[in-house]
Amino acid sequence: MIRTCLFDMGNVLVFFSHERMCEQLGRLCDRSAEDMRRLLIDSGVQWNYERGWLSPTQFHEWFRSTTDRDVLFDDLVQAASDIFWLNEPIVPVLDQLKSRGLRLVLLSNTCITHFEWVRDHYDVLQRFDACVTSCGAGAIKPEPPIYEAALREIDCEPNECFYTDDIPRYIAAGRQHGLLAEVFTDVPSLLGHLGKHGVLK
């Protein structure tokens, strides 16, 4: 019997665009989106930020020193974070799960500024009983420590927890930890997976 549902955030609860992020950051410092992708994503800086190895202040300092531009902190947050839009059809599904007494837990690779942006701009994370983030766990999926953190929050046995994520290798890692995990593609397929596991039939 499923007691908890574990949801990814990016491209599940909300959609996002790294391309838009790189374009917006590039405009702050007169660089191309391709150049920003190389500096931020290809270099691994973004993933270190999502691991919580950089604070927002340290990320700001990195951006200013790397681009040699005196960019304001709030302008950087806006450019880096205004990249999300709500997956509206999933909201009623979350409400149905909550109405049936299921626990909802977030499991997301995200930096603190992205998490706070989504929390403050969309009424979706407020539905969750707990949030496990990479920046809080100090590890990103598919690394074991973030799944171990999730197992501590689900308040049930792993085989009583349904987990969905849009990245197949993260789903594979979830299954290795005993979770009932299915790849997310869209809300109709999610409903099918929940039905298969005896939820929302």
pLDDT at 200 (0 to 100) = 81
Res. 21 pLDDT band, cuts 50 70 90: very high
pLDDT value at 201 more than 90: no
The residues spanned by each domain of the chain are 4-15+87-196, 18-81
Burial annotation 72-82 (CB, 10 A radius, 16+ → b, else e):
eeeebbebbbe
Residues 175, 127: Cα–Cα separation, whole Å: 25
Neighbour-count burial of 11, counting CB atoms closer than 10 A to its CB (0-12 exposed, 13-18 middle, 19+ buried)? middle
Q: Which are the contacts of 182, defined by CB distance < 8 A and separation ≥ 6?
A: 162, 163, 164, 171, 190, 193, 196
Q: What is the mean pLDDT of the chain?
A: 97
pLDDT at 118 (0 to 100) = 98
Q: State pTM to two decimals.
A: 0.96
Mean pLDDT over 65-87 rounds to 97
Report pLDDT digits (tens) over 84-142. 999 999 999 999 999 999 999 999 999 999 999 999 999 999 999 999 999 999 999 99
CATH of domain 4-15+87-196: 3.40.50.1000
- Asked if 181 contacts 174 with a C-beta cutoff of 8 angstroms, the reply is yes
- DSSP for 132-166, written as a single string: EEHHHHT--TTSHHHHHHHHHHS-S-GGGEEEEES
Mean pLDDT over 179-189 rounds to 98
Report pLDDT digits (tens) over 159-182. 999 999 999 999 999 999 999 999
Neighbour-count burial of 111, counting CB atoms closer than 10 A to its CB (0-12 exposed, 13-18 middle, 19+ buried)? buried
